[in-house]
Amino acid sequence: MSADPWRGRILIIAAAVMWSTSGFFAKAPWFDGWDPQARGVLLAFFRSLFAVIVLVPMIRRPRFRPAMLLMTVCFAGMVWSFMEAMVHGPAANAIWLQYLCPAWVALGGSVVLRERVGVRDRRMLAFCLSGVLFILVMEFRGGSGLYASFMGILSGVTFAGVLLSMRELRDEDAAWLITLNHGATVLMLMPWAWAAHEPIAAGSYAALGLFGVFQMSVPYVLFARGLRSVAGAEASMLSLIEPLLVPLWVFVAWHDHASYQAPPWWTWVGGGMILCGLLQRYLPHALRRSTRGNTPV
């Protein structure tokens, strides 16, 4: 694999763009035949099912460790809660609330792992928590959307649990860990998906396959390869393309559909606070790494 940093950046940007299609699929009318109350579970189940099919051949060093149990439970919770947030609320709300993950990682690292929290981490926590509190207060005043907002927060918390667990498992085969996560998600959600499943058009199942492969499996591979030549902080900055593009794809594709929900103004304000927190945390470090030659971290 070439160590060219520009190649790595292109791979990470491509991964972020592909990740950003989550709202496009979750809001698609192809799945209108499903009960709205069960749609989140079904989307999470089938996306992971198709992702596993693609990821299994990439496994090189499978091995079980007890820490993987917590990782898989957190991952299944993350996938389910994120799809619930996507289905029951604006896509922009779901993705920005999930992007609270770095704040939860910093908080969890400090409380659980006793890691030092720097000044930029504290500022990030202040910005991010202010943003989510603002969104929650406005949703509460509006009398709707609280369930979707809480699901979005849960997706960020569980995502942090996944990252903290994977930090402990960083010596393991990455393809094995990702496959294990999706396989566990399929097994955990299967009872609910089996009970709630209603047949939909054959073309909709093809779309579910594309959802699992294009939006989930392939971008993780691209991102992992990009990290070989791009610093972690810079990769975090480039990944911010995802929450910026999620509402754009939903609007372009489905704004004429009856079920389309435009993000309310407070989503942009709260999301802007979260974005400011992430930028002040990662941008200076990314710029320093870029000028020093992009040594991966």
Residue 14 counted as domain residue: yes
Predicted pLDDT of residue 297: 39
Q: pLDDT value at position 286?
A: 60
Domain count, the chain: 1
pLDDT of residue 17: 94
Q: pLDDT-derived band of residue 231, with 50, 70 and 90 as boundaries?
A: low
Domain with 75, as residue range(s), is 5-292
- The residues near 221 (Cβ < 8 Å, ≥ 6 apart) are 58, 175
Work out the average pLDDT over 105-125. 72
Q: Is residue 68 part of a domain?
A: yes
Residue 2, pLDDT > 70, answer no
Residue 27 reports pLDDT greater than 80: yes
| Band (1; pLDDT cuts 50, 70, 90) | very low
Average pLDDT over residues 158-174: 82
297 occurs within a structural domain: no
Range in 62-71, 268-277, 288-297 with the lowest mean pLDDT = 288-297
Mean pLDDT computed over every residue of the chain: 83
Residue 186 has pLDDT above 60, yes or no: yes
pTM surpassing 0.85?
A: no
Predicted pLDDT of residue 3:
56
From 160, 37, 34, select the one nearest 102 (Cα to Cα).
Answer: 160
Model confidence at 287: pLDDT above 70 = no
Residue 152 belongs to some domain of the structure: yes
